[in-house]
Structure 1
Amino acid sequence: MSTLAIRYSTLRDGFTLFGILFYIQVITFVLGLGGAASFGDINKDLEGNVANQICGLITLLVPLFFFIRNKVFLSKTFYRSNFFMLLFLLCVIASIGWSHDPMLSFKRFIAMLSMVFFAGFIAYNYSLEKITFMLGCAIGMAALIGLILAVVMPDVAFLSGGIRDGAFKGIFAEKNAGARLNAIAILLLLPMIRRRNHWALFCAFFSLVAILLAQSATGVALIVSGTISYWYFLTLIRLRVNHSPLMFLGCTLLYLLVCLFLYSNFAVLLEMAGRDPSLTDRTLIWELLGPFIDGQFLKGYGFGAFWSSPDADGFITRWGYIGNAHSGYVETLLNGGVIQLTALALMFGEALLKQYRAVTANQTAQFRASALVIIGLFAVTNYVAYVIPNYRSAEFLVFCTLALSFRHHLAVYPATSASACVWQSTAARFSQRVTQGEPPVPNQAPPSVDSVCVVIPMYNGADSIEQTLASLVGQTRLPDHVIVIDDGSTDDGPQRVRNFVAPFRLTLLQQTNEGQASARNHGIRHSQETFVAMLDADDQWHPQKLELQLALYEELSRQGRPVGLIDCYAQVNYSDGRRQLDNRRKSGRHFYDFIHANVVNGVSTALVRREVIMQLGGFDASLRYSEDRYMWTRIAEHWEVHTVPQVLLERTVNGGNMTAQPKKYYQNKIHFIEVYLARYSEMLSQQQRIDFVLGNHTDFLEAFSRRGEHDQVLGVYRRMLECSWQALIFANGKPTLRYLYARARTWRKATASTPAH
């Protein structure tokens, strides 16, 4: 009997699409259930409807099952990273206890919790790049549906009667809410619009048309202010100001001062836009609700319970039912008093701080800048509209998705026990001696699905190769095959490999000296295992490296993630006694991060599927420097890169590296730049190409400067200026300062050597 196999990723993406369509009201509209609320019918609004409740429960229970299965609630990091959002939810739960209508408050809390859990499901399963693109395109397509509806059923898509007669609302129940959401969609898509992504341009266009037809000044204001703010922060990122926390903080404070100035003159701006500067309707509502807020200032009426309380009866009898206070902050005071309002402010602050810190850490900074601007705009628009925490608003879904953060931690296993070491030494006695590059046995069993081959290029590594191999013997999960490639060594390193007794299959391959890229390719071609783990001949792994990396790969594969490379943290030990922790963390798509640096923590940290490397044709053997960065970039172009957040490598840096001998490697670096740009020039913007070239030259300029090779500093800086004038201000002007210092020293040297007349 045949069975239909469905991948987890298909189910995940299908559920995500269902939830997004539900929360942006596409499903609600198609089913003919009306908008999120019927403002003219209090009973319908308070009771809700069965179909919405069922859809809401689905978006609650599926993520809840997912989080329990992945032990999210057992992670301390989850609580630390989302502390103030969890605190806000606790305040809402507490308000049920003193609510005027506890059952109504409970139902509305469950509805809000459904949206928060669904947002968490998205944040856990997708990278920020995918989240912004996915949400922006979904909202843009909803705008397109509304525009099609305007042609087919104009009486449904446009408002009729009143001062807003003829304004476009599309599939949304309220035209201003739809306009705000379309504006947010455009801001979400800005990073992809900069890359000229056709889908982003397509969806943003329809969102813009919907805003213009809605005649919404709020929507236009959000687009203008959001785009200008994003451009401002993007300029700071281009100039690498975000690499200096103090400078970036100063520029941010300057931006906030400008915003405060504009806010103090908002009445003039509204008059220029032809709008009532007094916000008459809203201010009147807030004045009428003032006595009720003062009466329950500390605790409020309970979440969502004010409009069903006796105090609201008089207001509704005289002024009619308006659904909410038309301000997220005023509505929060009604729901939970100053306690809940304080928690809301802290939640906003936490969300802004997360994105701000991510921008300064240069973690997908362009997308983080967009998220930072959007959350800031939510904080502003929440003053004149009920946005946060409105569980009926798709804007709240966007906020929660950007505000929540997860880190996929693995269980920490104990180090190798004494009994395990005894077993390994016993196994070593029965293991076969190293083989001399034997061909694969045709009839041997195929490798297991998680088999690992460790590839070790070696050139004159006699002093360290035995320690390196010993670190493999100590692995809690032994490799299936280890291949050492002798790259034309002149010492007795190959003989030491032959004499090494190992509890795994050990192969020695030999070739003339052709470089590490060629040696790695030789070993990878000879391997048959599923995974290839890179290891240099003078590095050592911690005992749990393979076990934890394979466990992370298995976990991500179950989620349907397209993983190309698993990294880990590394402890770098320099020959002069200095120590450095390389802890760059990756979790998703990181292609554009490689423009600025090699964000993999070392060659010996990488675990890659063999088929990925073979599909890319192996390492570029023409490169004698940065060949690993080029390979990781090509992997990141098509697959995700993830990191085990633990130090699992001891890396040794001796006197033969670039820092000690920059002149030896500089021409190789120039060749790397040429190869990289030949492949990726069309994919990068002009600014990204400039950043790439200047960044690579800066590394060597600093190395030459530290060694006092001032003539070389002058030559490198001239190359940087030939690339762009931005060399003057690149890296906060440090290359320029080093150039001026080198120029002064060479001038002084020339003056001192000139004989006096």
Structure 2
Amino acid sequence: MNKASISVIMPAFNVSHYVMEALASMASQVVLPDEVIIIDDGSTDDTLALVEKFQHPYPVKILSTSNQGQGSARNLGLSLASCEYVYFFDSDDLVTPDFIADMKSLAENNAFPDIVFFSGRSFYDGVDESIIQLEYGRGFDGVFESSIELLEAFRASGRFSASTCLYMSRRRLWSDASLRFIQHFHEDECILYPLVMAARRFLVTQQVYFERRIRLNSTMTQHKVPKHVQGMHATVRTLLRLNRKVRDRQLTTFIHRRMRLFLKRYVSLCRSAGTEIDLNLLVRTCLALRDPMVLAYLLYYLFDGPARGRIRRYMRAGSRG
């Protein structure tokens, strides 16, 4: 019987308070990973020194680069990976002790699916739980033979997290489809859809293997900055490109649903960050969606004064059918 091998790719940037705990969770696995690749992304604290000092019980590659962002660090790690599967692990989070063992077992006992999705949970570190509520449960189990079946199951469950920490994928998917992370925030959202489209077979489990640390000054909790806007802009553009390629009606419906969601988030982020809105992107997305309610929503945010009142009345009337 063939054995599954797993490369763990871990970018690290200024996480000296957390990286030892993350490494310990990987080092204490019941079955160790086949290799761990750690990319220090130009840290200015003791992160690199701590990583180098740690007693790694698995084959490890440690590299240090200038600060280029998490996406670039992941891409570098991916280029160095040698195993059949890759898992992207954030350097301030944790995994359960049986994670690697169970991932290998799930892959080997289910004909080596292209992507294995699993559940996670949050824990709060110096952050009020009322500030941000995140759900990382998958809500269902199953094996799916096409991206259409998988996305329909996600739609039916009402749960869809794009975090790369919540799935492992076959390395060849990335090379065959020439997939790379963008160098902005929200790179997880941007990459998942092309990755799913490139895959053919999927496994989903409700079992929790990942533990997300919710802390101050992380990408999720920090004040919204232009990088957030750029990442959301790139996500909408990715969905637009996919929309032009896809011919299946169910896939188109799913992509349109995500386009609506992220276009609204993009406009909201632009306003909160004080960034100019890309009107060309809005027009192209509205034309692709052909949805008057989305157009009304955007006009509501673009206009002030009496026009808002009229648009609000239209949106209320539209929501009532």
Q: Per the shorter chain, which TM-score range?
A: 0.7 to 0.9
CA RMSD of aligned residues (A): 3.8
CA contact (8 A) 1:564 1:635 kept: no
Equivalent residues in 2 for 1:211-360, closer than 5 Å: none
Q: Which residue of structure 1 lines up, in the alignment, with residue 147 of structure 2?
A: 590
Q: Which residue of structure 1 lines up, in the alignment, with residue 160 of structure 2?
A: 599
Aligned pair partner of 1:613 in 158, 171, 174: 174
CA contact (8 A) 1:600 1:632 kept: no
Q: Secondary structure at the match of 2:160?
A: coil
More helix by share: 1
Change (3 A) 1:641 1:633: farther
Deviations 1:706-745 (A, max 9, x none): xxx3976x95899657743866535xx9x579849x9469
Aligned pair partner of 2:262 in 677, 693, 696: 696
Query: Percent identity among equivalent residues?
Result: 20
Q: Does 1:512 align with 2:70?
A: no
CA contact (8 A) 1:517 1:623 kept: yes
Q: Secondary structure at the match of 1:599?
A: coil
- Cα deviation for residue 494 of structure 1 reads 0.6
Aligned pair partner of 1:674 in 237, 245, 254: 237
- Cα deviation for residue 623 of structure 1 reads 4.0
Q: Which residue of structure 2 lines up, in the alignment, with residue 724 of structure 1?
A: 286
More strand by share: 2
Change (3 A) 1:659 1:723: farther
Read off the aligned partner of 2:244 and give its amino acid letter: S
- Cα deviation for residue 495 of structure 1 reads 0.4
CA contact (8 A) 2:116 2:167 kept: yes
Q: Does 1:662 align with 2:224?
A: yes
Q: Which residue of structure 2 lines up, in the alignment, with residue 458 of structure 1?
A: 12
Aligned pair partner of 1:624 in 170, 179, 184: 184
Report the structure number with the largest CA radius of gyration.
Answer: 1
Change (3 A) 1:536 1:738: farther
In 1: Cα distance, 2:260 partner to 2:177 partner: 27
CA contact (8 A) 2:151 2:254 kept: no
Deviations 1:247-270 (A, max 9, x none): xxxxxxxxxxxxxxxxxxxxxxxx
In 1: Cα distance, 2:72 partner to 2:242 partner: 20
Read off the aligned partner of 1:729 and give its amino acid letter: M
CA contact (8 A) 1:623 1:671 kept: no
Read off the aligned partner of 1:657 and give its amino acid letter: T
In 2: Cα distance, 1:606 partner to 1:688 partner: 20
- Cα deviation for residue 548 of structure 1 reads 1.9
**Which structure 1 residue ranges, 5 or more long, are not aligned?**
1-447, 748-757
In 2: Cα distance, 1:672 partner to 1:715 partner: 15
Change (3 A) 1:704 1:667: closer
- Cα deviation for residue 510 of structure 1 reads 1.6
In 1: Cα distance, 2:171 partner to 2:73 partner: 15
Q: Which residue of structure 2 lines up, in the alignment, with residue 540 of structure 1?
A: 94
Change (3 A) 1:743 1:550: farther
Q: What TM-score do the two structures reach when normalised by structure 1?
A: 0.34
Aligned pair partner of 1:484 in 38, 41, 44: 38
- Cα deviation for residue 550 of structure 1 reads 1.9
In 2: Cα distance, 1:739 partner to 1:593 partner: 30
In 2: Cα distance, 1:659 partner to 1:722 partner: 30
Equivalent residues in 2 for 1:134-173, closer than 5 Å: none
Equivalent residues in 2 for 1:201-216, closer than 5 Å: none
Change (3 A) 1:490 1:723: same
Deviations 1:82-127 (A, max 9, x none): xxxxxxxxxxxxxxxxxxxxxxxxxxxxxxxxxxxxxxxxxxxxxx
Aligned pair partner of 2:47 in 474, 482, 493: 493
Q: What TM-score do the two structures reach when normalised by structure 2?
A: 0.73
Aligned pair partner of 1:568 in 118, 128, 145: 118
Deviations 1:371-418 (A, max 9, x none): xxxxxxxxxxxxxxxxxxxxxxxxxxxxxxxxxxxxxxxxxxxxxxxx
Change (3 A) 1:710 1:564: closer
Q: Does 1:577 align with 2:94?
A: no
**Which structure 2 residue ranges, 5 or more long, are not aligned?**
309-321
Q: Secondary structure at the match of 1:625?
A: coil
CA contact (8 A) 1:690 1:724 kept: no
